[in-house]
Amino acid sequence: MTARTTDTFAGARGTVATVDWPLEDARRAVVIAHGYGEHIGRYEHVAQDLAAHGAAVYGLDHHGHGGSEGERALVEDFDVYLDDLEQVVRRARAEHPDVPLVLLGHSLGGLIATRYAQARGGLDALVISAPVIGGNPEIEALLGMDPIPEVPIPPEALSRDPEVGRAYAEDPLVYHGPFKRATLESMFGAVRDVNEGPSLGALPTLWIHGEHDGLAPLEATREAVGRIRGDRLEEHVYPGAMHEVLNETNKDEVLADVEAFLASL
């Protein structure tokens, strides 16, 4: 097991909490961007697997999430996510200047990571897990309601493994409340920016997704990926899997596919 270290830094809108899994003589550096409402601690098993295969791993709790400051799950300006993430990316690059730098993002983190790759660059590879770059018509429809009804993310939509949903529901660092209007406006604005933005060009990209993902619908995501895909795209769609493919019943297969992609860089 790789020991984790925790720290904070002054982010764009307040203090940001970080968790790193340092590794001397790392063969690659991986920065993880977590999803909506959750926190980087839910990626401990992912970080440990990456570290076991030679990666120094870096993570943060986004503004308004986990141990970071800000109203819970409220972001009025999507660039706050990018600005905070950039500080972590720069630190990873500075500490490991001679190895590939990879950004891995899940769900909302996949949207953040994709937009970061388009707008900020400086990466050697991108891994997007169930990215919400294609949007979700059912969630976006909430913007037409006043007030927005309380429809938090259902734990049973995450994985076929019921333990994943149970742990999520009982996690005090996870936000379990309703969507906030400003957050939805910011999020779907970013979806439009991604789809109207440049392709990923020569950036090696791995896209992983569950066949039965109800939060980032597969076909909408496939259309968005097709719109921005670059010269080197690898994709894996897992039959029967739901939204959190990194926490699915076949997570060992998923992680092996991620490691194989990283080894090819």
Residue 96 is part of which domain span?
5-263
pLDDT tens digits, one per residue of 66-125: 999 999 999 999 999 999 999 999 999 999 999 999 999 999 999 999 999 999 999 999
pTM: 0.98
CA–centroid distance for 119 within its chain: 16
Q: What is the pLDDT of residue 58?
A: 99
The whole-number average pLDDT for the span 226-230 is 97
Q: Which residues are catalytic?
A: 107, 213, 243
pLDDT tens digits, one per residue of 3-46: 999 999 999 999 999 999 999 999 999 999 999 999 999 999 99
CATH of the domain at 107: 3.40.50.1820
Q: What's at 189, amino acid-wise?
A: G
The whole-number average pLDDT for the span 249-255 is 98
Q: How many domains does the chain contain in total?
A: 1
Q: What is the pLDDT of residue 224?
A: 98
62-84 burial code (b ≥16 CB/10 A, e <16): bbbbbbbbbeebbbeebebbbbb
Characterize the bridge pairing of strands 5-11 and 14-21. Answer: antiparallel
- pLDDT of 237 higher than 90: yes
The whole-number average pLDDT for the span 190-213 is 98
The whole-number average pLDDT for the span 234-260 is 98
